[in-house]
Amino acid sequence: MLPFADIDFYLLFFLLVPLLHLAKLILRGRVSLAATIAFLSLFFVAVYYPKPVQLLAFTAYQCLFTWLLLFKWRRLHGLLGCLILALPMVLVKLDVEVDTLGFAGISYITFRCVQVYLDGEQLRERFRFTDFIGFLLFTPSLLAGPIDRYERFKGDLDQGWSRLNRSALIAGWELIVLGLLHKFVGAELVDRYWLGRFAQESTAAADMAGIMYGYAIYLYLDFAGYSLLAIGLGRMMGVELPRNFDRPWLTETPPDFWKRWHVSLGDWLRDYFFRPIYKSLSGIQRLRTWPLLKQNIALFSTFLLMGCWNGLEAHYIVSGSLFGLYSVAYNSYQYQNRKHKRNFWGSTPSWAVRAVSILIMVQLTCFALYVFSGRFPYLH
C-alpha cells in the first residue's frame, strides 16, 4: 500500500500511532525514539510498500555509498559523488530497467542522500546510521516529501520520547483533518465537477481557460492536502516535517512563488543545484564580468532540471523551461532596475503594484501548470 492512498493506510497508522505513544511508557530509557522510528519505517517498507525488495536494495546502495563518500572518498569531486547517488534515479528516469530498479519515491530518497552528502562537512561528526535510515524511509514523507533536511530531522529525534506528547497529537490530528479536506473533498470536487465538464483535447479558448485554472486549483488542493497529511502524521510521530505550501496564490514574483509552492523542493534546488552551478560558473574566467549571465544560466538550468526530473516528456520539459524563463526575465528586470536605479512603477500605490503583480503571477503560474499537466493541446 502507498502512504495516504487508501483506507488501509489510515487504519494501520491510526493503530500504530497510539501504539507508539503507549510504547513511550515502556521503551523510554531503553530504546531511543530514533531507533523506534527507523524500525517502524523499515517495518512499513518491508511488509506493506509495493516493491519492497527494490526499495530495500536501493536503501542499502544509498547507505553504502553515502558512507563511502562521507568518510572514505572525501577527495572525490562533488559532481561525481552526486552522480553515484543519483545513478539509480537517472536510470529510471531514462526508462532503463524501470521494472527492475523503479519504485515509487525513488527521487525523494535520492534528494535526501544528495543533501546529506553535500552538507557532509557539517554532518560528518553527527552522522548515525539509525537516524539516516529513519530519515530516508520515514513513512509520512517517503513517497512525495516534504523533503526534510538530515540535521533538522535528527534534531527532532535527539529530543527523544518527549516529542510524543498531547500537543503533538492534537496539532498532527488538525493537520490531517485539513489535509483530508483539501485532498479528498476539495480536489475531488474540482476534478469531478470542474475539470470533468471540459473536453480535454478541445482547442476552444473557453475550454482551455477552464482547464488551465481548474487544473491549477486541483493540483494545489491535491498536493497541499497530501503535504498536510504527511506533516500531520509526522507530527504525531514526533517529527516536524517542513511546511510545503504557504498561500501560493498571493505570489508577487517568480522567486516568491518557490517560497510558497512546493517549498521544500524549491529550497532543495536552490541549495544543492542553483548555488553549486553558480559557484562553478563563477570560476570561469570569461564569465567574470557577466554576473547577470551567470545568474540566468544557473536559474534556467535549475528549472530545466526540475522539468526533466518530473519526466522526459515534452510537457514537463517545456513547463520547467517556462518557470526558468519567468525567473530569468524577472532577474534581468531586477538587475537593470538596480543598475540604472530605475523604478518602473513610479509613484503607483504599493497596493496597486501588489494587486497587479499577483494577477500577472497567477496567469503565468496557471499557464505553466497547464503545460505541466500534459493537457495543453498544442504540445503532443
Partner 1 sequence: MGNRALRLLKWTLIYAALALGMLWLHHPLDVSMDAAASTVKFVYQQF
CB of 217 to partner 1, least distance (A): 15
CB 326 within 8 A of CB 357: no
Nearer to partner 1, 39 or 61 (CB): 39
CB 91 within 8 A of CB 101: yes
- Among 22, 31, 43, 288, the residue binding partner 1 under the rule CB under 8 A is 43
Residues 329-348 that bind partner 1 (CB under 8 A): none
CB 65 within 8 A of CB 85: yes
Question: In Å, how far from its chain's centre is CA 351?
Answer: 32
CB of 8 to partner 1, least distance (A): 5
Residues 136-175 that bind partner 1 (CB under 8 A): 174
CB of 237 to partner 1, least distance (A): 16
Distance, CA of 240 to CA of 255 (rounded, Å): 25
CB 44 within 8 A of CB 181: no
CB 85 within 8 A of CB 95: no
CB of 12 to partner 1, least distance (A): 5
* From 3-11, 94-102, 104-112, 268-276, span contacting partner 1 (CB under 8 A): 3-11
Percent helix, strand, coil in the chain, to 5, is: 75, 0, 25
CB of 181 to partner 1, least distance (A): 5
Residues 191-230 that bind partner 1 (CB under 8 A): 192
Nearer to partner 1, 64 or 185 (CB): 185
With cell 514523507, the residue in question is: 141
- Among 4, 16, 92, 117, the residue binding partner 1 under the rule CB under 8 A is 16
Nearer to partner 1, 174 or 246 (CB): 174
Cell of 297: 544560466
Cell of 357: 503583480
CB of 7 to partner 1, least distance (A): 6
CB of 17 to partner 1, least distance (A): 12
Q: Residue 240 interacts with partner 1 (CB under 8 A)?
A: no
Nearer to partner 1, 166 or 339 (CB): 166
Burial status of residue 228 (CB atoms within 10 A of its CB: 0-12, 13-18, 19 or more): buried
CB of 47 to partner 1, least distance (A): 8
Q: Residue 17 interacts with partner 1 (CB under 8 A)?
A: no
Distance, CA of 205 to CA of 197 (rounded, Å): 15
**Total site size for partner 1, rule CB under 8 A:** 20
- Site mask for partner 1 (CB under 8 A), range 172-191, x = bound: --x--xx-xx--xxx-xx--
* From 6-14, 52-60, 255-263, 297-305, span contacting partner 1 (CB under 8 A): 6-14
CB 263 within 8 A of CB 243: yes
CB of 136 to partner 1, least distance (A): 22
Q: Residue 246 interacts with partner 1 (CB under 8 A)?
A: no
CB 227 within 8 A of CB 145: yes
Question: In Å, how far from its chain's centre is CA 282?
Answer: 27
Sign, CA dihedral 87-90-94-98, equals: positive
Burial status of residue 340 (CB atoms within 10 A of its CB: 0-12, 13-18, 19 or more): exposed
Name the site residues for partner 1 (rule: CB under 8 A): 7-8, 11-12, 15-16, 19, 43, 47, 174, 177-178, 180-181, 184-186, 188-189, 192
